[in-house]
Amino acid sequence: MASPVSTGDREKVVSKLPAQLRQELKVRTAQLGIEIQTAVEQGIAQWCNLASAPAAVDTAGADPFSTWLPPGQWETFKTSAVDRKVSLIQGLAQAVKVWLQMNPAPAVSRPEIPRRIVVCNQKGGVGKTAITAGAGEAMAEDANTLHPVRVSKHFAALLEGNNAEALDLDDLPGLGLRVLLVDFDPQCHLTKQLGHSPLPMEGDSLTKHMAGDPAGQLRDLIVPIDEDRFGDRLHLLPSCNDAFLLDVRLAGVRAREGALERALAPIEGEFDVIIVDCPPSLGLSMDAAVFYGRRRPGEAPGSSGALIVVQAEDSSADAYDLLTTQIEDLRADLALDVDYLGIVVNHYDARRGYIATSSLQAWMDIKDPRVVGVIGDLKEQKEAVRVKRPLLAYAPKSDQAVGMRALAREIS
């Protein structure tokens, strides 16, 4: 049925479409960045131009579907359906199927040089581990499924005291990247939060590989994060308590700044993104992490670098100054190109009043590096930690999960 009610030069059309086909259409148009009405218009034109109708589509259980088409196209379509002796519902389903076949899903864009993101702050308790895990999970979500995302423009609303949950969400395809999370902290929080045990002290570990004393292949230590929504794209390199001794062991290693890079080099090609959860330290291990995140020859600016996690309170500002001083010293001493990927304000809660809101404003005022994420202090993250599951698998529609997806896109 066509309605005279119009938007621009289009008329509203009401028919039916199988739920699965409608979902495929919604995902594909989001992947290609076009409107559903444009896809249906193209599909109908392509279907009408075929020499004969394609194979029948199962339309059992088709649900109401409406869109906007150019004036006259629906009448032309109805005439073609009559000529081909198919119902309007069957013809529309075939037209959508034709469009999907002629417009395949785009391949996931994979970097030529694996991206290396160093999540850092020498202050403990700011939530580096949660940001490491959440950003990595968001990057690994299925590219053929839509996920709710709130873009970072809601920062202004947060500053004005508005509830971010009231703002509109976008349903966007997952990024579909192959991600390795590296637990570089001897406290092993990332390892435990994702449901794995720390590596045994008497076995092999990242520390041993960095110190030049490996007991096997590093890839043998990597474990998958077994959640359907990540497929086989999300993996973890667990930590070991022997990392408490890493700075001591690195003191005797030649070219120690490159120790992490040398250890991870054999497995880099298996991943698109490697995210390193750093310890709250300004020692040699942090030097190695910053060196690992430097911009390599031929790599685009902002592809790899340091992601700094802070809180909306005063002590984070002191820690931030210490960390950036260390990074700037390494930049100067070793002539490195180290990019700042941005600042993430974690555990934010405007209900804490002036200290929280004024601190957030102070972070927003820095500009270089700029704030790329504000993650609320909500219960879902704590619950996910308690049950030892990834946040985006435990509570995929939570406000924190939505914010992690926005963060992943900001730094991608």
Q: Which residue has the higher pLDDT, 247 or 315?
A: 247
On the question of pLDDT at 118 being above 50, the answer is yes
What is the predicted pLDDT for the residue at 93? Answer: 97
Residue-wise burial string across 194-208, b where 16 or more C-beta atoms lie within 10 A, e elsewhere: bebebbeeeebbbbb
Q: How large a percentage of the chain has pLDDT more than 70?
A: 94
User: What's the average model confidence in pLDDT over 8-37?
Assistant: 93
For helices 88-102 and 19-32, the axis angle rounded to 10 degrees is 30
6-15, 267-276, 294-303, 382-391: least confidently modelled range? 6-15
Task: Give the dihedral of Cα atoms 209, 213, 219, 221; nearest 10 deg.
Answer: -90
In contact, 326 and 282? CB cutoff 8 Å: yes
On the question of pLDDT at 198 being above 70, the answer is yes
Collapsed DSSP state (helix, strand, coil) of residue 389: coil
Q: What are phi and psi of 161, to 5 degrees?
A: 85, 10
User: What's the average model confidence in pLDDT over 385-406?
Assistant: 95
pLDDT band at 297 (very low <50, low <70, confident <90, very high): very high
User: What's the average model confidence in pLDDT over 29-41?
Assistant: 96
In this predicted model, what pLDDT tens digit does every residue of 274-285 receive, in sequence order?
999 999 888 999
8-17, 28-37, 147-156, 217-226: least confidently modelled range? 147-156
Detail the DSSP E strand segments found in 29-95.
63-69
In this predicted model, what pLDDT tens digit does every residue of 243-283 receive, in sequence order?
888 989 998 888 999 999 999 999 999 999 999 999 988 89
User: What's the average model confidence in pLDDT over 206-235?
Assistant: 95
DSSP class of residue 302 equals: T
What is the predicted pLDDT for the residue at 154? Answer: 54
pLDDT band at 110 (very low <50, low <70, confident <90, very high): very high
User: What's the average model confidence in pLDDT over 130-134?
Assistant: 97
pLDDT band at 317 (very low <50, low <70, confident <90, very high): confident
What is the predicted pLDDT for the residue at 100? Answer: 97
CB within 8 Å of 42: residues ≥ 6 apart:
99, 103
On the question of pLDDT at 37 being above 80, the answer is yes
DSSP class of residue 240 equals: B
User: What's the average model confidence in pLDDT over 370-377?
Assistant: 92
Strand 371-376 and strand 273-277: pairing?
Answer: unpaired
152-161, 184-193, 340-349: least confidently modelled range? 152-161
Collapsed DSSP state (helix, strand, coil) of residue 138: helix
Q: How large a percentage of the chain has pLDDT more than 90?
A: 79
Measured distance CA(334)–CA(289) in Å, rounded: 14
Which amino acid is present at 380? Answer: E
In DSSP terms, which residues pair with 181 in a beta bridge?
A: 236, 275
Encoded tokens for 275: 């995210």
Encoded tokens for 279: 């310890």
Measured distance CA(149)–CA(409) in Å, rounded: 9
pLDDT band at 166 (very low <50, low <70, confident <90, very high): very low
Question: What number of residues does the chain have?
Answer: 412
From the number of C-beta atoms within 10 Å of its C-beta (0-12, 13-18, 19+), residue 187 rates as: middle
In contact, 231 and 142? CB cutoff 8 Å: yes
Measured distance CA(410)–CA(343) in Å, rounded: 11
Measured distance CA(295)–CA(308) in Å, rounded: 16
Mean confidence (pLDDT) of the chain: 91
85-94, 103-112, 337-346, 355-364: least confidently modelled range? 355-364
Q: Which residue has the higher pLDDT, 35 or 349?
A: 35
What is the predicted pLDDT for the residue at 339? Answer: 97
pLDDT band at 366 (very low <50, low <70, confident <90, very high): very high
Residue-wise burial string across 58-97, b where 16 or more C-beta atoms lie within 10 A, e elsewhere: ebeebeebebbbeeebbeebeebbeeeebebbbbbbbbbb
pLDDT band at 319 (very low <50, low <70, confident <90, very high): confident
Q: What are phi and psi of 321, to 5 degrees?
A: -65, -40
What is the predicted pLDDT for the residue at 7? Answer: 52
Give this prediction's pTM: 0.90
Encoded tokens for 229: 């929504």
pLDDT band at 329 (very low <50, low <70, confident <90, very high): very high
Measured distance CA(126)–CA(265) in Å, rounded: 29
pLDDT band at 169 (very low <50, low <70, confident <90, very high): confident
